[in-house]
Structure 1
């Protein structure tokens, strides 16, 4: 459903699960449509009130005014919680979404009961900067097909080389940005990825945090995830290893991913969602 949020734009927001349960806010990564949460959202909704949404300019969400940064997207995330009547939620962010989650908890810590930062980093290192520059280039030139093909690097070699992968991508393709306006937005998202830097602020976070990375992750390498966990006091770290431990580990190894996330969330106190939207 399209919801008018307090930042002045309309975002495509989806809720699932029982509103009498504590809420989990899912924050999408670069190019991601909320439907890509798929089985992860379904697994979480058995225990939680799950909220997901498309960032500005993606899918049916309008592209509002002003620049897109990880900090501005954190303002949107808080406004989504307001729009659905939730004062505080667990937050699970993937890739760009994990950067937005960092900015959200830094700006409004009372809104975040706990955080799961999946495929994250404090600031780009030189290795990552090379990869981001390469991945963003086709979007900057409008070569969507090459841009989408390059996003295959988010998956593991095992999945990419499997006979099932072409059919999987054919099914997923409609969920990725296609229009000129979406492509322009994706460029802004890549710029937000490139500019993100919370390294000197992460030590001030006192929210329970689980950091998840993958041994095969080429976009947000495991050493960067480890660095985030080291910077946030008391943060837990899980690095998946072996086949499927890619940037998309939560999609490739969903049951194992949920087996890490659900106990972590269950151990953190959180209020149930309110009944009426604010």
Structure 2
């Protein structure tokens, strides 16, 4: 059973989540100190088994065997919905492959809450988790993402970020996506000092270049604006889509959808690009 736990406000732990934690043979957790505190505050006595990035590969087969024998586990992360930028995916996949039923207790999720509060289009959205910590890999990831946008992706982007990297991450996004791109920074969600700051990427980068940011942070970036598409731009979008690994047909479909151009015309140009080595 995957069990969502509060991201700050303990009142968000549902009765069903408490029952699942209480009834489990053991609770699988990232950090027993964090989960132990949560359980103690709810008066729940439970056996805890650490499950984190460093031991999940080794633990998964053992836990699956115990599940086959009839044991029931509740899997939690330190906060929020398990598996969302947290451990657990390898265990869940192994359980599914072993034919074990996996269910979940829904609940708090920082990414979805931040999206809802951002004032930016809520769908479609793309959750990307944490960007690389180092400047070079981060810039490369953002450049690739911008290339996919040029090929036709139009979605609100959702990131997690560490407080001490917030300012430089926003500056990198302004460089990659454009200074005027609308965005929002949500922090300390559900807690006493909850804050959602909205503005352009440039405005937010300037603010957090000097302002101290504390707590858990989500960055929401609005969809790429529609752009007038000339021949050069069409070719650039198609090259980006093909470089991203899309087939000719899928590249043409995504670019046609993003630009409003006729799919037949875009596909014909994609064939021309492919025929001459993409230009």
- Do Structure 1 and Structure 2 share a fold, with TM-score over 0.5? no
| TM-score, scaled relative to structure 1 | 0.27
> Taking CA–CA contacts closer than 8 Å with sequence separation of 6 or more, which of the two structures ends up with the larger relative contact order?
1
Q: Which structure is larger by alpha-carbon Rg, 1 or 2?
A: 2
| TM-score, scaled relative to structure 2 | 0.27
